[in-house]
Structure 1
């Protein structure tokens, strides 16, 4: 996963002391896209150390930030490389940069360029002015669909642990663990688990703007409760496992959907923090309640209660 570029100053073409300076992250894909967009230009690229994270995410995490930009400008002695005092940053990095502080500490004035690197030639030719198209982030259904494997993959990596817990709970008997009971009782829960991953990591992102409410957690819960209801129509669970399912799987879908905030234009860092502050305690309480109901169900099976 070392998909990174060494931080520092790079030349595109044959730049001189009057050439533009563009700033990017040291995530190799970000660097390559910028380099490709500057084909035919004579320019400098200043690469910040964002720990191999793209500009947008790094700006939110603070690695594409004021301190790193100032440090890198001073380290490469940019004032000796160019005569002008202008640096051009991607618009999506603005959240992490205090332009006034950068200018005060380095004497370089920060300009925020277009959202997409492919628009840089048009931006430069227009006298470093952006039109509305250059300020707009597109996030179509196809864009969201392309990102869903990145959400499904980590969820599926955790699924074997969930499956093991479920099979242990349903297979556990006073005489030991019975494989037949584990499968007959656990398979509906495993299918519900797969459905919650599908609803949280695929359905919610794809249908994001069409699902009511702004909160990702609520959107994920809505798709989760609907998918759980549909799946429950195909199963024949006893009352306690059914209630446990309606409690757990919608919040599982909600939690998975909340992970998509790192890939979307629909929210910001403060919004994510608010959702986590409210959502995490609810996820914990509902999970514990769901497990307790299953344990009570097992005790009834064993005729302890």
Structure 2
């Protein structure tokens, strides 16, 4: 069965600085005892003991494993808020390796995740009262769904991580619970043939993982279904808006420099026009996504962009013949900008497929580029010849 491509937060993690008291990965052979003093005290996973979310260690025949708290601290909440706005997004990760929740033993389930900390936090806070192992893959700080598409949450990394942690000597069973959204990147039969571990796909949402484990690894239809609600879209908007805001600083800088030479300076109305087009593409289009006619995101953004531009022109009284270049320039630039920004949201939506996004971009990007080039030229001409 082919699972729908859905960008939603699954299980993940965060790299912390390695300090002097970080315990290094064990290279010792397996010892015959279980959690006792004769076992290696070196750590299977590199981590910072000063992290608030690390509460202790469990000693195994392959070395010690850090125990993870199921409570989120202020630093975790602040970190989540920051990456929602694109602050430190690509560096919000933990070290790959094996972690523990509660007091797991050789019979406890093994959950597999990626090392993006935002979703790692979402997972661990749902595991209160559960004894389990969490195997974190090195996905370069990318969430499960995106990493599966990029190949970093994949068969090779999973097989290698099982070997590096000595997982087969720590647990007696041979089952791995993977997030459903990681399925596109993992070949279950290859994992089975190379490691002996079979793959079971868990629910889409971390909040359902406890019920999934309690039911004997059986998922309900609800656990397999994603409802991409307005709230789900809303929490993704800050990242898109933040990225657009950073690019806008350069645009405003160019407008400031042009004002030193042109006859008609770019003023408040131009600022409002540009800002409205950005908000239309990054906020309004995602919020109204299901009700806007059409399928292509670029088309949806362009349609709302046209409505915004017409409303702006009407309100400012620029329909007169003396504003012909300005009017046409706005109609070409602003909807194109909204279309481009709305198209970026394809990576966050459950409505798209990889092939569909590629097809849309091949058609939309050239049209957007032409519209922007012609429109900007007309706006410059209007500023010079006014």
CA distance in 2, matches of 1:282, 1:132: 41
Q: Structure 1 residue 287 and structure 2 residue 372: aligned? A: yes
Name 1:231's counterpart in structure 2.
312
User: Which residues of structure 2 form unaligned runs of 5+?
Assistant: 1-87
Name 1:6's counterpart in structure 2.
95
Could you tell which deviates more after superposition, 262-271 or 240-249?
262-271
2:291 to 200, 207, 210: 210
CA distance in 1, matches of 2:277, 2:185: 34
Name 2:268's counterpart in structure 1.
187
Q: Structure 1 residue 36 and structure 2 residue 125: aligned? A: yes
CA deviation after TM superposition for structure 1 residue 295, in Å: 4.1
Which structure has the higher relative contact order (CA within 8 Å, separation 6+)?
Answer: 2
> After superposition, where does 1:116-155 map in structure 2 within 5 Å?
116-155=205-244
Name 1:251's counterpart in structure 2.
336
Query: How big is the alpha-carbon RMSD for the aligned residues of Structure 1 and Structure 2?
Result: 1.9
Q: Note if contact 1:167-1:186 (Cα within 8 Å) is conserved in structure 2.
A: no
Deviation readout 1:170-206 (Å, 9 max, x if unpaired): 6534xxxx6xx31xx4432221111101110110011
CA deviation after TM superposition for structure 1 residue 104, in Å: 2.3
SS of residue in 2 equivalent to 1:130: coil
CA deviation after TM superposition for structure 1 residue 290, in Å: 1.4
User: Which residues of structure 1 form unaligned runs of 5+?
Assistant: none
> After superposition, where does 1:241-280 map in structure 2 within 5 Å?
241-280=326-365
Where does structure 1 differ by over 6 angstroms across 4 or more consecutive aligned residues? none
CA distance in 2, matches of 1:33, 1:61: 22
CA distance in 1, matches of 2:137, 2:170: 17
TM-score by length of 2: 0.71
Q: Note if contact 1:166-1:190 (Cα within 8 Å) is conserved in structure 2.
A: no
CA distance in 1, matches of 2:111, 2:180: 12
CA distance in 2, matches of 1:171, 1:196: 25
SS of residue in 2 equivalent to 1:114: coil
Name 1:158's counterpart in structure 2.
247
CA deviation after TM superposition for structure 1 residue 213, in Å: 1.4
TM-score by length of 1: 0.89
